Amino acid sequence: MSLSQSDFAFVSTLVRREAAIVLAPGKEYLVEARLIPVARQVGAGSVAEFLANLQRKPNPADQRRIIDALTTNETSWFRDREPFTALTDVVLPDLVKNRASQRRLRLWSAASSSGQEAYSLAITLQEALPTGWGYEIMGSDISTEMIKRAEAAEYSQVEVNRGLPATQLVQYFERVGAHWRIAPHLRRNVSFKHMNLTAPLPAIPPFDVIFLRNVLIYFDVATKKSVLRNVARLLRPDGWLFLGAAETTIGIDDNYERVAAGRTSAYRVRSAVPAGAVRKG
Amino acid sequence: MVIDDSRAMRMILKRIVAKLNFEAIEAGDGQEALDLLATMTEVPELALIDWNMPNMNGLEFVTKVRAEPRLREMTLVMVTTESEQSQIVRALAAGAHEYVIKPFTEGAMIEKLALLGLVPTGANS
Amino acid sequence: MSVETVVSEGDLAEMVEQVWVSYLDPEGVSPLLVTGDDGQATEVHSTVSITGSWHGHLVYACSLKAARRSAAAFLAMEEDEVSQEDISDVLGELANIVGGNVKAMLPAGCFLSLPTVVLAPDTASYYPAAERISGLYGLWDAEPVSISMWQSVKQQEATA
């Protein structure tokens, strides 16, 4: 049994419109697998029946459920490793120099999903920042379900196996029944907000480091442009933006420049050369 | 080297490390593994070690290996259902380099081996 | 504290999900559908016993077809290549994995036995001296699979 072409088209259009996510053809089985629990949850006999009902009588709650189910993705701790190494080796030493008077850093894990990236950032800062420094990390996601999960900070056995060194598991987690929960001293520094990156972003203080990884790949060019423009407003002038390995600002937004950071690249807002020239003059 | 009393688990682990171009030697418990190691001229790079096994358990094996200078270069990874925080601490204190809790996905195992520098770049995608 | 509150049906369900995603259904397309039918007939029973501060058994039971399918998925083989030994090994390891995780949720000081796998029809009464305290019953591609926890009756009386 596989999703019909028209049902797949309906779901694709919905997630493209609401979450700006492009579902490639060939992902029918994946869509169906993700929607089976949703259909069951709302009491529909099958995914086809659930989608038929929704097309006949649209309702925002079920649309939200579909988006939540399809924007869920598997996350590892310290995913891709290199950006975290670059943070420790290159970015933090630079920021520690620049923020010597504040002794406080703000980081944003955009599209934080179930929270692994945000807490991985917390572990990195916990280990790399000099004594006496503080930090806060904000995670954001379009899925309210994911926000709840990230705030609960509880992970299954299978999830804590993924990319997390055992020494850090025993140091930063505590076992709670069948789960592992992030220790309070880390949780204290991490918060989560519901946010749609393609809509105008709320007025919040800017960040020193933004992780926006494996998000742009889901968007079309116009949406990529608007997301990058929104994000630039929330990045401090000397801040650092990390994208996924397959993503870039090049050819999309010229306000950013790519810079080497350890064995990977990061993006920084181009220094305002004309402004500097004016000051000099 | 894959040390587990379950043949099914040894097969899974062998299949995973084969993808990373490791040739695996099997042992059904810690004693058998030590006996095998004693006969080998070339020490394996990696040992994946179950905890609960007959004759000699994995923790005892780790302790014995750590005390043996000839085996110092071997990377030791516990792969076990023992999942209490105190047990993980015990294994790390005894000298295990990493700890994978069963059940694990293939991706998780490869990520753990990558942490130990045992995965050539690009091999885990 | 009673064990029922320590290892609930929800906990068993979560372990099942983890075993499925790790070995039996990595793509996430064929989950175990919970029916709650504790009278379903099963033909293969894999048991690990827990002793120490808690006494009892964890039983992984399923039809022969589900057992064959489990072994094929676990060992990356075709179903018709699976031998009796493969079934026995894989079912034993599945009970061992769930049992080990259950043990971590019990009071400290418990030990796990090696698994015992029996390929014979049976119904609910595996352990005359034990009582079922929690269980998860469902269908996997229309084949019965269950995981249940049995506590030694003697210990129940002692702690009651």
From A79, which residue of chain B is nearest by alpha-carbon distance? B111
Most confident of A59-63, A80-84, A92-96: A92-96
**Which residues of A are known catalytic residues?**
34, 141
- Kind plus residue range of the DSSP H or E element containing A151: helix A144-152
Q: Is residue A47 located within the same domain as residue A185? A: no
Q: Is residue A213 located within the same domain as residue A146? A: yes
Q: Is residue A112 located within the same domain as residue A87? A: yes
For residue C15, list its beta bridge partners: none
Q: Is residue A188 located within the same domain as residue A256? A: yes
Q: Do C27 and A33 touch (CB under 8 A)?
A: yes
pLDDT for position A71: 64
For the record, the structure tokens of B27 come out as: 């042992």
More confident: A280 or C52: C52
**Number of domains chain A contains:** 2
Q: What does the pLDDT look like over A119-175, one tens digit per residue?
A: 999 999 999 999 999 999 999 998 888 899 999 999 988 889 888 999 999 999 999
Q: Is residue A37 located within the same domain as residue A110? A: no
Q: Is residue A51 located within the same domain as residue A122? A: no
Which range of residues forms the domain containing residue A36? 3-68
What is d(CA C13, CA B46) in angstroms, rounded to the nearest whole number? 34
Q: What does the pLDDT look like over C28-83, one tens digit per residue?
A: 678 888 898 988 888 999 999 999 999 999 999 999 999 999 999 999 999 999 99
- How much is the ipTM here? 0.89
- The CATH number that applies at residue C26 is 3.40.1550.10
Residue A278 lies in a domain: no
From A32, which residue of chain C is nearest by alpha-carbon distance? C29
- Enter the pTM of the model: 0.81
What is d(CA B101, CA B109) in angstroms, rounded to the nearest whole number? 10
**Number of domains chain C contains:** 1
C91 — alpha (psi -120 to 50), left (phi > 0) or beta?
A: alpha
**């049976």: which residue's tokens?**
C122
Q: Once rounded to an integer, what is the mean pLDDT over residues A89-109? A: 96
Is residue A258 helix, strand or coil? Answer: strand
What is d(CA A29, CA A12) in angstroms, rounded to the nearest whole number? 13
Q: Do B81 and C112 touch (CB under 8 A)?
A: yes
Q: To 5 degrees, how large is the angle CA A192–CA A195–CA A200?
A: 140
From B103, which residue of chain A is nearest by alpha-carbon distance? A158
**What does residue C17 show for φ and ψ, rounded to 5 degrees?**
-60, -40
pLDDT for position C156: 60
CB nearest B8 (choices: C26, C90, C99): C90
Q: Do C18 and A158 touch (CB under 8 A)?
A: yes
User: Which residues does chain C have within 8 Å of residue B104's beta carbon, measured at their own beta carbons?
Assistant: 22
Q: Is residue A147 located within the same domain as residue A257? A: yes
Q: Is residue A58 located within the same domain as residue A96? A: no
Q: Is residue A107 located within the same domain as residue A36? A: no
CB nearest A170 (choices: B89, B100, B115): B89
Q: Is residue A257 located within the same domain as residue A212? A: yes
Q: What does the pLDDT look like over B47-84, one tens digit per residue?
A: 999 999 999 999 999 999 999 999 999 999 999 999 88
**What does residue A256 show for φ and ψ, rounded to 5 degrees?**
-100, 150
Q: Residue C154 is which amino acid?
A: K
Residue A281 lies in a domain: no
Name all chains with 3 or more CB-CB pairs below 8 Å to chain C. A, B
Which range of residues forms the domain containing residue C84? 3-159
pLDDT surpassing 80 at residue A64: no
What is d(CA C51, CA C45) in angstroms, rounded to the nearest whole number? 19
Kindly state whether C18 is in contact with chain B, defined as any CB-CB distance less than 8 angstroms.
yes
Fold of B1-114: Rossmann fold (3.40.50)
User: Which residues does chain A have within 8 Å of residue B99's beta carbon, measured at their own beta carbons?
Assistant: 166, 169
pLDDT for position C31: 82
pLDDT surpassing 80 at residue A57: yes
Band (B124; pLDDT cuts 50, 70, 90): very low
Which residues 32-91 of A are in CB contact (within 8 Å) with B? 76, 81
- The CATH number that applies at residue A18 is 1.10.155.10
> Which residues lie closer than 8 Å to C83 by C-beta, 6 or more apart?
none
Q: Is residue A24 located within the same domain as residue A107? A: no
Q: Which of A208-217, C27-36, C82-91 has the lowest mean pLDDT?
A: C27-36
Domain ranges of chain B: 1-114
pLDDT surpassing 80 at residue B122: no
